[in-house]
C-alpha cells in the first residue's frame, strides 16, 4: 500500500516544476512546522505565511493549562523564537487573512488587498471554537478558548471570579475546570451526554474522569440540557443558566468548550474537495496537486485506523506538517503515525494511543482508583489502543510494540507485579 501510494503521488506531481514560491495559509503549529521543515530540507525559495493572529506560531496545549493559570505566556509557548524565525527568511503577513484562492492563476488574495502567486500552497487554517447558538445565549459573559489572546483574557477573568460555568464535558471543558479549581474558583461542568468525553473514551475511563473531577470539587452535571444563558436578573455582571428540567444555575461567567469547526470555507470556495476538513492523501496533497493541507483542518487516510479522520492534536499538527513540507519538495514519505493525544488534569496525565472504540473491552493493568494504570484494547492478541494514566513508560513501550505489530499475552499485560519489557 505504501509503495503504491508513493508511486501514485510521484506520478501526480511528475509534470510540475520545482517550487520557487510556497505560500502557507495559517500561522499555528502546523504552519510553523511547515516553514521550519522546508528550510531544514533545503528550500531556499520565497516563503510566505499568511496568518490572522499577530503572534508567531505557538503551541496550543498549554493554553487550557499553564497559560490559563498564569504560569506561561507567549515567550514560553512559541514554536520558534523571533530571532530564529527571522533566520528562516519567511514573509509573515500578519495580521492578515487569505480571502480567496485563484487556482487558475495560482494566486492567493488577502483581506488587506495583497496578493501572491504560488507554485505550491499549504492550507493550515486550523479551526475555530464552536459557538453556542445565538438563540440560546443572551449574555456577553461567555468565553471560548482557541487562541493565545483568548487564553490570557480567560485566565484574567477566572482569577477575578468565584464561580465559572463550563458548558461541555469534553477535553477542553475538563481542562478549563481543572485549571479553575487550581486557581480556587468554583466550577460547574454541564454536559448533555450521559458521560464525559463520550465520543473518545469507553465508559470505564469516562467514569474515572467523573470521579476525578468530583473529588476535586467540580460540580459535574450529566444529561444537562441547557436552554438559556442570560444575564443574571439581579446582577448584569453575572449570568444565569436555565436547563430543560426548569432548574437554574448562577455563575460569574461561562466558558463553552463544545468542539472545533475547521476553517474550510476558503478551500471549498476554491473548489478544493472538502468533507469534514480538506480532503488529502497520505502526503497531505489535495485533489489539486499544487495544493496541500495539514493539521486540524486536514482530513487524511489513517493507515492505523483504516479510515479517514481529521485529528485535532499536537502530535498530528507537528508530524503531518513535517510530512507535507517534505512532499512539497518531492520527497514523499507517507504520514502514518499512530494517533496520539494527551491531557493533563490535576495530578493526572492521561494519554491515548491508537484506536479505542466506545464499546471496547479494556484489559486493565495497575490501579485505576489509585490513578496509575494502563488500559489496553486488543484485537487478535495485538494492541490496537492504549490509555495510559500516569504510566508514560508503559505507553512508550506499547507504541513500540504496536509499530512492530507484536502479539502480546493478555496475562503478561495485566500482571502489574511484573514489569513490561
| 186-191, strands of its sheet edge to edge | 142-144, 253-256, 163-167, 186-191, 219-222
Residue 238's nearest CA partner among 247, 249, 225 is 249
In a domain, 46, yes or no: yes
Judge if 293 and 366 occupy the same domain: no
Distance of CA 220 to the CA centre of its chain: 24
Query: What own/partner pairs with CB < 8 Å and gap ≥ 24 does 309-313 have?
Result: 309/339, 310/262, 310/276, 310/277, 311/339, 312/127, 312/260, 313/339, 313/340, 313/341
- Note whether residue 342 is domain-resident: no
Final residue before a domain boundary, out of 256, 289, 319? 256
Q: How many domains does the chain have?
A: 3
Residue 341 in any domain: the answer is no
CATH number, domain with residue 388? 3.30.390.30
Query: Is 65:132 a contact under the CB 8 Å cutoff?
Result: no
146: left (phi over 0), alpha (psi -120 to 50) or beta: alpha
Tell me the CA distances in angstroms from 414 to 269, 373, 377, 385, 403, one per residue in order. 52, 10, 12, 15, 20
Q: Is 193 in the same domain as 176? A: yes
322 part of a folded domain: yes
Q: Are residues 194 and 146 located together in one domain of the fold?
A: yes
Same structural domain, 35 and 100 = yes
- Express each pLDDT in 194-211 by its tens digit: 999 999 999 999 999 999
Shared domain for 6 and 113, answered yes or no, is yes
Last residue of a domain, one of 256, 285, 309: 256
pLDDT at 358: 87
Give kind and range of the element (H or E) at residue 10: helix 2-13
Q: Which residues of the chain have a pLDDT value below 50?
A: none
- Secondary element (H or E) of residue 308: strand 307-309
Chain-centre distance for alpha carbon 215: 27
The verdict on residue 184 lying in a domain is yes
| Pairwise CA distance, residues 159 & 69, whole Å | 8
Q: What is the pLDDT of residue 2?
A: 62
Which residues, listed in sequence order, are joined to residue 91 by a DSSP beta bridge?
48
171 and 243: one domain? Answer: yes
Q: At what angle do helices 29-40 and 314-328 cross, to 10 degrees?
A: 40
Q: Which domain holds residue 205?
A: 137-256
Check if the beta carbon of residue 35 is closer than 8 Å to that of residue 24.
yes
Q: What is the pLDDT of residue 416?
A: 81
Residue 314 DSSP label: H
269 and 296 co-located in one domain: yes
Q: Residue written as cell 470521579?
A: 211
Amino acid at each position: 500500500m505504501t509503495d503504491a501510494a508513493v508511486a501514485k503521488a510521484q506520478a501526480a506531481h511528475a509534470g510540475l516544476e520545482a517550487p520557487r514560491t510556497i505560500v502557507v495559509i495559517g500561522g499555528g503549529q502546523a504552519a510553523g512546522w511547515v516553514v521550519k521543515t522546508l528550510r531544514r530540507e533545503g528550500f531556499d525559495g520565497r516563503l510566505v505565511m499568511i496568518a490572522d493572529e499577530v503572534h508567531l506560531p505557538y503551541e496550543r496545549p498549554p493554553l487550557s493549562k499553564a497559560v490559563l493559570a498564569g504560569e506561561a505566556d507567549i515567550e514560553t509557548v512559541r514554536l520558534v523564537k523571533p530571532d530564529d524565525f527571522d533566520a528562516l527568511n519567511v514573509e509573515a503577513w500578519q495580521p492578515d487573512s487569505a480571502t480567496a484562492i485563484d487556482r487558475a492563476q495560482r494566486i492567493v488574495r488577502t483581506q488587506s488587498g495583497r496578493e501572491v502567486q504560488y507554485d505550491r500552497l499549504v492550507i493550515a487554517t486550523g479551526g475555530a471554537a464552536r459557538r453556542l447558538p445565538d438563540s440560546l445565549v443572551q449574555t456577553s459573559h461567555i468565553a471560548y478558548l482557541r487562541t493565545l489572546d483568548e487564553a490570557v483574557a480567560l485566565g484574567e477573568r477566572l482569577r477575578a471570579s468565584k464561580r465559572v460555568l463550563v458548558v461541555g464535558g469534553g477535553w477542553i471543558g475538563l481542562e478549563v475546570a481543572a485549571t479553575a479549581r487550581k486557581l480556587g474558583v468554583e466550577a460547574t461542568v454541564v454536559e448533555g451526554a450521559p458521560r464525559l468525553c463520550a465520543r473518545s473514551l469507553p465508559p470505564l475511563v469516562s467514569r474515572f474522569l467523573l470521579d476525578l473531577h468530583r473529588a476535586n470539587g467540580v460540580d459535574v452535571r450529566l444529561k444537562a440540557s441547557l436552554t438559556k444563558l442570560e444575564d443574571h436578573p439581579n446582577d448584569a455582571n453575572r449570568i444565569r443558566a436555565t436547563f430543560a428540567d426548569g432548574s437554574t444555575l448562577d455563575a460569574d461567567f461561562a466558558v463553552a468548550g463544545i468542539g472545533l469547526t475547521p476553517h474550510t470555507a476558503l478551500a471549498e470556495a476554491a473548489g478544493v474537495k472538502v468533507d469534514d476538513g480538506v480532503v488529502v492523501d497520505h502526503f497531505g496533497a489535495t485533489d489539486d496537486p499544487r495544493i496541500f493541507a495539514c493539521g486540524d483542518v486536514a482530513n487524511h487516510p489513517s493507515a492505523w485506523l483504516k479510515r479517514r479522520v481529521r485529528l485535532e492534536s499536537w502530535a498530528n499538527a507537528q508530524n503531518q506538517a513535517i510530512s507535507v513540507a517534505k512532499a512539497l519538495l518531492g520527497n514523499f514519505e507517507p504520514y502514518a503515525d499512530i494517533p496520539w493525544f494527551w491531557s493533563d488534569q490535576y495530578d493526572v496525565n492521561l494519554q491515548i494511543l491508537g484506536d479505542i472504540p466506545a464499546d471496547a473491552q479494556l484489559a486493565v493493568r495497575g490501579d485505576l482508583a489509585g490513578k496509575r494504570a494502563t488500559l489496553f484494547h486488543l484485537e487478535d492478541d495485538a494492541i490496537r489502543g492504549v490509555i495510559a494514566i500516569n504510566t508514560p513508560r508503559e505507553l512508550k513501550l506499547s507504541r513500540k510494540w504496536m509499530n512492530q505489530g507484536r502479539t502480546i499475552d493478555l496475562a503478561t499485560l495485566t500482571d502489574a507485579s511484573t514489569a513490561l519489557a
